[in-house]
Homo-oligomer: A and B are copies of this chain.
Amino acid sequence: MTVARTARDRARQEITAEILAAGRAQLHRTGPSELSLRAVARDVGMVSSAVYRYFASRDELLTALIIAAYDELGAAAEAADEAVEDRTDHLARWQATCRATREWSVAHPHDYALIYGSPVPGYAAPQDTVMPATRVIVRLVEIIVGAHASGHTSGAAAPPAGAVDPSPVVADAMAFIAEHSDISLEALPELVMRTLMAWSTIFGTLSFELFGHLKGSVSDYESYFEQTTLRLAGDLGLA
């Protein structure tokens, strides 16, 4: 956060925040594709053209909202993990992190759709969004690798017959982790593979729930999710 020097700078920051908040509020009422820059302008008592002094386009406003959503979700997940007192109970940490992810998602379905739903066409996520987007999965990786490093594991799911060495497939993911964190996961490609799968399962399940694909198949979404993440933890060898 840069310090606001002049009064104008301060006003600019404030108004920018106001616009973002109004956009946020409108997002909760309508939905990503329905977000109207004019309506946001009305909410903050400005004329539509004035908003363009702060955001060059509707997409730029969306990008800011996307980053905010990623950060909020990431913070919620991290906080839930850190609230677990026994830091060696990796299963509890895993479940808490997953649970917080779901709770934030069902509490903010429109924000969830904004970041995990279909991208708005023609909109390419700028680089600013990638770091906030990784917070949840990075935390999950930390928990899993931490468990394996400290030996708090039971047997993880073994690769089935016919499976090839997943090293080349997950090489990029391993490189990313190696670069952006101090976690060491050399010689654990199968675990990384399973972690990616679990990650996909978690958000696939949430998307299914929030987008209505589980209607008719599952009634108690919370229990279903809980049982799902529990089995994923088992597959990952979390004791």
Contact = CB atoms under 8 A, between A and B. Distances in A.
Contacts of A219: 171-172
B157 A234 contact: yes
Given A120-B31, A121-B31, A157 B160 contact: no
Contact of A205 (B116, B172, B204): B204
Given A205-B204, A207-B207, A173 B217 contact: yes
A132 interface: no
Nearest to A113: B118
A118 B118 contact: yes
How many copies of this kind of chain does the complex include?
A: 2
B160 A234 contact: yes
Contact of A216 (B159, B172, B217): B172
A224 B169 contact: yes
Interface residues of A, number: 64
A223 B171 CA distance: 12
A237 to B, nearest CB: 10
A56 interface: no
A44 B133 CA distance: 42
B176 A217 contact: yes
A197 interface: yes
Given A196-B218, A208-B200, A234-B157, A169 B227 contact: yes
B233 A160 contact: yes
Contacts of A171: 219
B203 A201 contact: no
Interface in A189-210: 193-194, 196-197, 199-205, 207-208
A230 interface: yes
A182 interface: no
B204 A200 contact: yes
Contacts of A122: 30-31, 34
13 contacts: A31-B120, A33-B120, A110-B121, A133-B213, A160-B230, A163-B230, A163-B234, A169-B223, A173-B216, A197-B205, A200-B201, A203-B204, A207-B207
